[in-house]
Structure 1
Amino acid sequence: MKDSMKSCQHVVSDDIVYKEVVVIGNGPSGMVTSFMLAGNVPYLKEIPEDLPIDEMLRARLSNLPRGQSLYDTDLLELAEGLEGRSQNPIPLLMDNLLRPCADMGIQADSLIEWKYDLEKQIDHIVLGRGPPGGAWHTFPPGVRTLSPAAWLSLPPHAAAGAARLSARAVAKYCRRYVTACKLQKFFRSGVTVTSVTRIPQSGGPRCHNTQCPLNAEFCVAGFDTSSCRPFRYVCRRVVVASGGGDRPNTLAHEVARHALHSLAPLERAVQVLSSHASPTPPSVLIVGSGVSAADAVWLSVRAGLHARHLHRTPADALARLEPQAYPDYCQVYKMMCDGPSGNHPNYTPYPEHTILEVTPENDPTHKLNADDIEDYALSLKRVKLLNLNTKEVTEIQVYLIGVFIGAKPDLFFLQTNFLDCIDIKIDCAKCIDESKMTKRKIEEKQCFLKNHWHYIKSMLGQSIQSCKSRYLNYSEINGNTDTKCVVPACNKRNNEKNSIDKCQIIPYPNEVKINCTCDVVNPYSSGLGFGIDPKKAVDGRANPIAIDRSSHEILNAPEGMYALGPLTADNFVRFIPGGALAIVSHMHQNKH
């Protein structure tokens, strides 16, 4: 957002960078937000008469003044009454404009025209842990997408193609997108954000230049993952676009330490197992009933391994898929539905079972080596399973356990105010006294702790997060919150603050619901306070971040903080541009 006023003389200290907007996350959510912040403005095209879009939407669009951008439009009013696979109205509106009649199987041209306007550019930076594309770089390259290619393209690219793409293809597209849209200068990859904090305001007069650092509201701190050098950005607004799958749900610690929780290392382990000469196919145990668990089963069976599948009722997402377009998922769904009587090669289902115990076994003659996989994850182990219906215990031997029971976002960086005890000072360039500066530099050289405090603070935060996630964060099977603890009389005991009780969470769908009070949730990663139910952890499906639907501002956060994408329950790429439109439109309409 270019300011016509003369540049002011206020500057920040050397170790702080000022940006109007900081975007946290460089996946599709951060990428399309950057595209709009960079000065690309959406305008409505002429709507073909024969295009069967919603009639009420057509009427509202026809009343828009000619030449008016969508940034200057009441988007919530335009989106009124629209229905679809998103619960957020503006993402639904944008999807109807970018992919009109997509759910009817019609591939029509976009109704949006993009024009570059330098005056609409907003200075920003996009921060990400890996290369642009986010989680797409962490999936096994050969895994196919659920969405067709036409639903994965980002503005301004035209939507085309009904084929499913590989994760490798989507990751490459994300890399090319940043270059093709000339966004490289706005991206900083290979960094970890550790805190987002509010800057205390002095209460004195503020600068009239909207781009002045004195008007900064937030400080975003972190460190470079390769050099470990800390960084700090101060900004007026923060966009949280970090995705919803950084923290995989796990079973009890005794099981979790023997298991893998993401597809990429599981695929690597499957490759090691399949290359190991054996008279009978090595067994792997897959836990979960959703799409990721189906991917894991398919990878294992296709590699010639014996997949033992512990699951509940198959997820609705699998049941809705068409066999012609999704033969892999539909085959796994059929095997799950057939149950033990299905007699499918190299597949044994264990419906309504839970893991009681995992015991490592000695197997020196079949020692497996893989540098990138922990020894305890890829080794022979004996597993005891409990049938929740018959209470029968079954013992099996497996080399690998893969647990795919959903994931939650890691919002640790939003809840680290307890670590922030360093004030951020913004000085006027004309008022800096050289003698004071010299004295301060001498003092800083004499104090190692002071010089390195922000790095130490960042690492301390990460250590706390790691420890709490490992020892305190027990999760439910398949996201089921109806739990019962195997520890007797758990709910009758007094929970002491300094004690950690070990319990196993198992689902009881047809019995009395009992909540386990010794299930301690890590409050520093779960996003407590930001969800629709502030007392529960943020979950992109069950408890998304609470937002103002007209602007995507976070309701339970200071003004100027936004969220989009999976954090707000938009789990399909096709709906992400709408969240970015709501955010950037609100910024342009509230420049001061």
Structure 2
Amino acid sequence: MKSEFQQETIHKEVVVIGNGPSGIALSYMLSGNLPFITSTSHPDEMLATRLTTAVNQSLIDADLDFLSTGLEGRSTNPISLLLDALLHPCADVGINMEPLVEFMKSGREIDHVVLGKGLPGGSWHKMDPQILTLSLGSWMSLPGIPFQSTDSGERRAYASSVAQYYVKYVDEMKLSKFFRNNVLVSMVRPVETLRKIDIVKEDRNWVQKIDANDRMSLCTTIGTKNKPKKCIISNAINYIWNRSGKRDCSKTCKKVRSQRTHNEHSPNRKIKEILSEKHYMQCDLESFDSNSSLSSSDSNNLNLVDPRRDGEIVPSRVHHENDVNWIIETHDLESGKTTIYTCKYLIMANGCHDVPNKLSIKGGDDQDWLLYDLRALEWCLDNKMNMQDTSRPDPVLVVGAGLSAADAVIALRGRNIHVLHAFRNKSADLNRQLPENMYPEYHKVHQMMQDGCSSYPFYTSYPEYTLTGINQVEHTVILSTKEGRSVEIKVSYAIVLIGSRPDLTFLPKSSDLTWKQALPIDGKTNVVKTNKFNHRVEGYKNLYAVGTLAGDNFVRFIPGGALAVVADLYKRNQLDET
């Protein structure tokens, strides 16, 4: 059956959007690697006492709510705090202790796929490779392989080293088979229960209308030399008839097409095609969901045509309608191929650094010399300007007061380029969050921002100014204050670094995910509305959020979010089995 909408459709128990540290940690645990408590010798006496109830036990089976009681730290998620306390006991006070947990390959391998727009590691590959991490290098590791920093004895690590570590981790942990890299998620849609019931009813109706005289078995033609062209839908119907003790049927495509034409422009058409017409769905027969397990006799009846193997008959299975709760459409950035994934559980692990925040600027924000990414600015400076015969470029304007803006100031001054630094508010004391002995470069920029241009070459600060206008012809920027003062300055480039947000354009427009509905999602002040103990997104069935989306902004807390999700999946499927 040919259709312009026909695409490869693959079913997975779990689909993870995002292949950064969160997606990697999830894949590691979904592959059956589970944490076991090996010791109760924790400096926190209350936690040590609670650990005695779960010693030599998998944390998947432990009472995580009880174990995490009273823990505090740099995360608002209790399970993240718990696993961090066990992996890095008292790390914040400088104590160097061995982990109290050990990961073992003892769990079930849950059928899953991890979707990412680039290489494993996510946004770490987009950072300036020479930027040092905020966390200690040892805190950048994921369970199973420690991160060995070789960056000239630095306690912190270069971003390039961290990015390489995550690629190596996926390879050495044999997780590559679960990763689909260079893939863009273009659409995610929930399949409502009532809609699935209607679809099942429709399926039964058109199955019952099939004329018995039209039923013919494909089994008699499988072994012949000239095989007739098999149809995915017919094979699925064959399975239904075989299970009911009746003969199979292969003349249903025309009826399916006739039913589809009356609803040609329905917004649920794609969902209906996937579920109602029973497109081919790839699935591991050894899925962790026991409700979908098959006997040997059942599997013999599941002969479906695999469109990826030129019509070859391969064993698969027809999914129960409850197996499909989400539909995910993806596009391969290299081949342009579209693939549809269906799944029972969907996990968002795509971070909050996809889309830069922008200013409302008179003159437009689409100028080629107005940038929002430090890597893009460095590329322009190192490539375009090297080809020009100029002694020194015009100043570069940096807008923003955060650490990303400080990174830009450091990078520009390192190239002997004059920096104009505009920021709305005077910076607060950094020592509370970033001790000066660990982060001297940021304290240096902070000092420059307060002192202005009196003592530092290649730097001029504009405190309490913001970028309000651009003159494309003159290549100038207009900086203004709240009081109405303004100044116009000629620049070579302007870069705006005022934060970023996640790219969730693939979700339905009506999605209400955050606590503060009127504000965009932010990893610090407005995270996705989740249950803190299992990371389920409130208001959505079988949807989870981990990592920055859920408020875990440091890699050391990310494995805890993965543990919370995987433990919940195990518990839920145990309940399904009873």
The answer to whether TM tops 0.5 is yes
Q: 1:263 aligns with which of 361, 374, 386?
A: 374
Query: Equivalent residue for 2:478?
Result: 384
- Per-residue CA shift, 1:478-510, capped at 9, x if unaligned? xxxxxxxxxxxxxxxxxxxxxxxxxxxxxxxxx
Taking only aligned residues, the RMSD between alpha carbons, in angstroms, comes to 2.3
Query: Equivalent residue for 1:164?
Result: 156
Query: Equivalent residue for 2:569?
Result: 587
Q: 2:85 aligns with which of 74, 87, 96?
A: 96
Spell out the pairing of 1:187-198 with structure 2 (5 A cutoff): 187-198=179-190
Contact 2:35/2:59, CA 8 A, preserved across alignment = yes
Gaps of 5+ in 2: 1-5, 202-239, 241-288, 294-317
Separation of aligned partners in 2, 1:216 and 1:326: 48
Spell out the pairing of 1:76-115 with structure 2 (5 A cutoff): 76-115=65-104
Query: Equivalent residue for 2:329?
Result: 221
Query: Equivalent residue for 1:571?
Result: 553
Separation of aligned partners in 1, 2:142 and 2:100: 14
Contact 2:79/2:533, CA 8 A, preserved across alignment = yes
Separation of aligned partners in 1, 2:342 and 2:31: 19
Query: Equivalent residue for 1:33?
Result: 26
Spell out the pairing of 1:23-422 with structure 2 (5 A cutoff): 23-48=16-41, 51-52=42-43, 54-64=44-54, 66-117=55-106, 119-158=107-146, 163-199=155-191, 200-202=195-197, 209-210=291-292, 213-214=319-320, 215-252=323-360, 254-258=363-367, 259-272=370-383, 275=386, 278-280=390-392, 282-311=394-423, 312-314=425-427, 320-340=433-453, 342-361=454-473, 381-389=475-483, 391-415=484-508
Query: Equivalent residue for 1:538?
Result: 521
Structure 2 counterpart of 1:290, one-letter code: G
Q: What secondary structure, in the 3-state scheme, does the structure 2 residue paired with 1:16 have?
A: strand
Q: Is the alpha carbon distance of 1:277 and 1:147 closer, same or farther for their aligned partners in structure 2, counting shifts above 3 Å?
A: farther
% identity of equivalent residues: 39
Structure 1 counterpart of 2:74, one-letter code: R
By how many angstroms is 1:160 displaced? 6.6
So what's the TM-score if we normalise by structure 2?
0.73
By how many angstroms is 1:290 displaced? 0.2
Contact 1:274/1:304, CA 8 A, preserved across alignment = no
Structure 1 counterpart of 2:358, one-letter code: T
- Per-residue CA shift, 1:517-536, capped at 9, x if unaligned? xxxxxxx4xx8510012343
By how many angstroms is 1:569 displaced? 1.2
- Per-residue CA shift, 1:447-473, capped at 9, x if unaligned? xxxxxxxxxxxxxxxxxxxxxxxxxxx
By how many angstroms is 1:157 displaced? 2.6
Q: Is the alpha carbon distance of 1:305 and 1:159 closer, same or farther for their aligned partners in structure 2, counting shifts above 3 Å?
A: closer
Q: Is the alpha carbon distance of 1:133 and 1:555 closer, same or farther for their aligned partners in structure 2, counting shifts above 3 Å?
A: same
Aligned length: 444
By how many angstroms is 1:361 displaced? 3.8
By how many angstroms is 1:213 displaced? 2.4
By how many angstroms is 1:263 displaced? 1.5
Contact 1:221/1:233, CA 8 A, preserved across alignment = yes
Separation of aligned partners in 2, 1:323 and 1:134: 29
By how many angstroms is 1:394 displaced? 1.3
Contact 1:285/1:310, CA 8 A, preserved across alignment = yes
Contact 1:554/1:562, CA 8 A, preserved across alignment = yes
Contact 2:113/2:178, CA 8 A, preserved across alignment = yes
- Per-residue CA shift, 1:524-570, capped at 9, x if unaligned? 4xx8510012343222112100101111000132x211000000111
By how many angstroms is 1:146 displaced? 1.1
Separation of aligned partners in 2, 1:230 and 1:101: 47
Deviating more after overlay: 28-37 vs 187-196: 187-196
By how many angstroms is 1:270 displaced? 2.7
So what's the TM-score if we normalise by structure 1?
0.71
Spell out the pairing of 1:442-591 with structure 2 (5 A cutoff): 524=509, 529-557=512-540, 559-591=541-573
Q: Is the alpha carbon distance of 1:414 and 1:149 closer, same or farther for their aligned partners in structure 2, counting shifts above 3 Å?
A: same
By how many angstroms is 1:303 displaced? 0.5
Contact 2:7/2:338, CA 8 A, preserved across alignment = no
Contact 2:352/2:522, CA 8 A, preserved across alignment = yes
Separation of aligned partners in 2, 1:87 and 1:135: 22
Q: Is the alpha carbon distance of 1:266 and 1:315 closer, same or farther for their aligned partners in structure 2, counting shifts above 3 Å?
A: farther
Q: What secondary structure, in the 3-state scheme, does the structure 2 residue paired with 1:154 have?
A: coil
Q: Is the alpha carbon distance of 1:566 and 1:156 closer, same or farther for their aligned partners in structure 2, counting shifts above 3 Å?
A: same
Q: Is the alpha carbon distance of 1:273 and 1:192 closer, same or farther for their aligned partners in structure 2, counting shifts above 3 Å?
A: closer
Contact 2:347/2:545, CA 8 A, preserved across alignment = yes
Q: Is the alpha carbon distance of 1:128 and 1:561 closer, same or farther for their aligned partners in structure 2, counting shifts above 3 Å?
A: same
Larger-Rg structure: 2
Q: What secondary structure, in the 3-state scheme, does the structure 2 residue paired with 1:562 have?
A: strand
Gaps of 5+ in 1: 1-12, 363-380, 416-523
Separation of aligned partners in 2, 1:147 and 1:34: 23
By how many angstroms is 1:280 displaced? 5.0
Query: Equivalent residue for 1:432?
Result: none
